[in-house]
Structures are given as structure tokens and as C-alpha cells.
Amino acid sequence: MRGKLSPSKAPQSKVGKMGKMGISKPYEMVRKLNSLCATLSGLVLLFVTFSIFVDVFLRYFFNRPSIWITEVSSYLFLYIIFLGTAYALQQGLHIRVTFLLDRFSPRIMRILELITSLFSIVFCFVLLWQTWVMTWTAFKEDWTSPTMLSAPYAYIHIAMVLGSALLCLTFVLRTILIFKGAEPESLK
């Protein structure tokens, strides 16, 4: 897959090289955490899919729609998206436009990848900061949804904080690896 920086699937010499760089253990911990979050994201997606199926079944066959499934499903989509984003970055699954990049040498591609990663880190820090401010405000002011469910927004928004933090951390470690010489498959 394009863009993968996975020390566990690299030849032993690369793992040794990353160990010498001093980031093998943090990268491995983040990689495992990203995998766990992606698994949780998938399980939440299964729950949402099943819940919507049940809601449709109840609505059309018994004329008894639930009052909570649609609202909870929309909130859970934040968890699905934000918990899976860092894993997608780790696996090189984000959308990339490569028709121009393929014309450059590996050295130029590495430089462009590094510049892109640095801009992405800045974006992720701003995203993390703003989602933290919003979540903290929702917690402090006890924001709730204006529906019968009255769901507390702080517990809904925390998914954005966690996902943004993981995405930022993954970008930082990925940038360090690129800077120190490890090559994602997209640069080979």
C-alpha cells in the first residue's frame, strides 16, 4: 500500500535502523494504539449499521420508530471518523494525487512529503486545539443536544480531541522517520 511506514512489516535492517533513530518504541506504541482505535471505529460502525437496520425494521413493519437511533448514530459517526483517521494515515490510505509526484526523483518526493507532513502537523495542532476548546466549553457549560435525548456534547466531542491528538502524533512520528531517512513506500 502506498505511504505505509510500518516497522513491523519492514525488513529487519529497517527496524534496526529505526531503533538507532530512537523512535522505534514510540512509533510501535502509536501504531498499536492506531490499530486499536481503528478496530473500535469498525465496531462502532457495525453497531450503527445494525441500529439503523433495526430502526428501519421497526418503522416499516411495526410503525414504531425509535427516538434515539438516528441521533445517536449521527454522534457515533464522529467516533467512526476521528478514531480511524490516524490509522488511515499510518497505512497510507488517505487520498493522494500522485500523477505529478510520480514524475519526480525519490529525493524530491521525500522533500515534498516532508513539507506536506509539516503543514499537516500545523493543521492537526490547530484542529486539536480548537476541538479541545470546544469540548472543554461543552463540558464546563454542560452543553446538551436540544432533543428529547438531551445527549451531553462533551462526551460526543471528545472523539474529535482523541482523534486529532492521534493524527497529530502519527504525523509527527511519520515526519521524524522521513526526516531521518526511513522511506514510506510512496517515496520508493
What residue ranges do the domains of the chain occupy?
7-187
Full-model pTM: 0.80
User: What is residue 151's DSSP assignment?
Assistant: -
121-125, 130-134, 150-154: least confident range: 150-154
Q: What is the pLDDT of residue 39?
A: 97
Amino acid at position 177, single letter: L
| Cα(162)–Cα(176) distance, integer angstroms | 21
Q: Which of 131, 120, 132, 113 is nearest to 179 (CA)?
A: 113
3-12, 72-81, 89-98, 164-173: least confident range: 3-12
Q: What are the φ/ψ torsions at residue 144 (nearest 5 degrees)?
A: -135, 160
Binned at pLDDT 50, 70 and 90, residue 183 comes out as low
Amino acid at position 133, single letter: V
Q: What is the pLDDT of residue 126?
A: 98
pLDDT mean over 147-151: 90
Q: How many CB atoms lie within 10 A of CB 180?
A: 13
Structural contact between residues 85 and 170, judged by C-beta atoms closer than 8 angstroms: no
